Structure 1
Amino acid sequence: MIAMQYKITLPSDYDMGIIRDRVQNNGYKTDGFEDLKSKLYLITELGNNKCLQNSYCPLYLWKNSSGLNKFLFNGYYDNILKSFGWQHVNIGIPLIDNTTDKIKESKYVFEISKTIQPQESLDNLTDIILNEIPMLDQTEYTIIYNPDKWEYSVFYFNEDVDKFADLNGVVYTVLHVST
């Protein structure tokens, strides 16, 4: 598996209805996309759920690289380039992915990002990360790491935003889920 996300920061006075309409009119186009496990169309809105900015931040979980390559290089990503300009595409490797078809019911995604500290061995890194992160009952999650930056992110998927109320991180609203 491969994870991919681009985070488009939008002006504080940006009409987020534009993004909502964009996803409502086009989100279905990635339903059933080649090698796509899931794509979550995510936004943050200034002032909602402690968010400090407006953003559009789709998160993709690919089964392998062929679908990702098709998306980026066969014209599909051109819609992002035309609408928002050149974006940095974050790529990561899922360390743990316990998501199921229930991910389609998600209304919110919560992200915690942390640095992987230098150590003598990475043999027990999974255990270290699992001990560092909160475990939320009845919440699916994915842990994605990037050895280029030695960082990891945990994405929690849930229907109830209150699950994340006491945690520090980013709360995204899910507009559509493609699988």
Structure 2
Amino acid sequence: MMAMQYSFVLPADYDMEIIDRRIRDKGHLLDGFPHLRFKAYLFADRKDGDIGSYENLYAPFYLWDAPEGADRFLSGPGFEAVSRDFGRPGVATWIGWHAELGKDLTRARYASRDIRPIRPYCDLQAQRSEAAESARNSLSDPKAVACVTAFDPTSWKSLRFCLWQSPPDRESEETQLYRVGYVALP
């Protein structure tokens, strides 16, 4: 399992309706994409009081069953189009630890993403177990729709990404909150 995200920081005066329209028009195109568990079309509008973003963002998040799906997408016309329209972004990738997916991901309206450093020389297996347990427990919150935990061994950082039906509580100052415009499914 592999998680992936790229993000575009848009100008402060950017018309976010353009992003909303792009998601409405193109979101369904990834439904049924090979090896895709889900793609959450995420955005943050700095004028949105529910999420309190400092920047306007367009930041899709993907969960893949296998890296072949990510390769096929990044080499394909969809990523070529977004790169042409916004510039080729750096793509963050994480090795999946655990994904706890609720019954209906299309209920997601918000997302939260926390990236934290992994302490040097910590017990990585214990950290993975704790992250998986935390993800499993997250769906006991009635607002929660899904939770993914993963890590990046290049930067030694962990990821906790969750989908929510209503605005979540911010776990820390570093928590990035988003709105969900659409969720593409297998």
Q: Same fold (TM over 0.5)?
A: yes
**Within-5 A mapping of 1:37-116:** 37-48=37-48, 49-116=51-118
Counterpart of 1:164 (choices 149, 159, 169) is 169
Percent identical pairs in the alignment equals: 26
Counterpart of 1:137 (choices 107, 117, 141) is 141
1:153 paired residue number: 159
Q: CA deviation at 1:104?
A: 1.7
Q: CA deviation at 1:122?
A: 2.2
Unpaired segments ≥5 residues, structure 1: none
2:121 paired residue number: 119
1:7 paired residue number: 7
Rate the CA distance shift 1:123–1:166 in 2: closer, same or farther, 3 A: closer
Instruction: Assess if the C-alpha contact under 8 Å between 2:97 and 2:132 holds in 1.
Output: no
Unpaired segments ≥5 residues, structure 2: none
Rate the CA distance shift 1:125–1:35 in 2: closer, same or farther, 3 A: same
Q: Structure 1, residues 8-50: CA drift from partner, whole Å, max 9, x if none?
A: 1101100000000111111111111111110000001113211
Q: In 1, Cα distance between the equivalents of 2:63 and 2:100?
A: 12
Between 122-131 and 69-78, report the one with greater CA deviation.
122-131
1:18 paired residue number: 18
Length-normalised TM-score, structure 2: 0.87
Secondary structure of the structure 2 residue equivalent to 1:50: coil
Length-normalised TM-score, structure 1: 0.90
Q: Structure 1, residues 61-108: CA drift from partner, whole Å, max 9, x if none?
A: 111122211111132210111101121011111111111342221000
Instruction: Assess if the C-alpha contact under 8 Å between 2:98 and 2:132 holds in 1.
Output: no
Number of aligned positions between the proteins: 178
Q: In 2, Cα distance between the equivalents of 1:177 and 1:82?
A: 23
Q: Structure 1, residues 109-158: CA drift from partner, whole Å, max 9, x if none?
A: 01111100102532312245479999572323111210111001211211
Computed over aligned residues only, the root mean square deviation of the Cα atoms, in angstroms, reads: 2.1
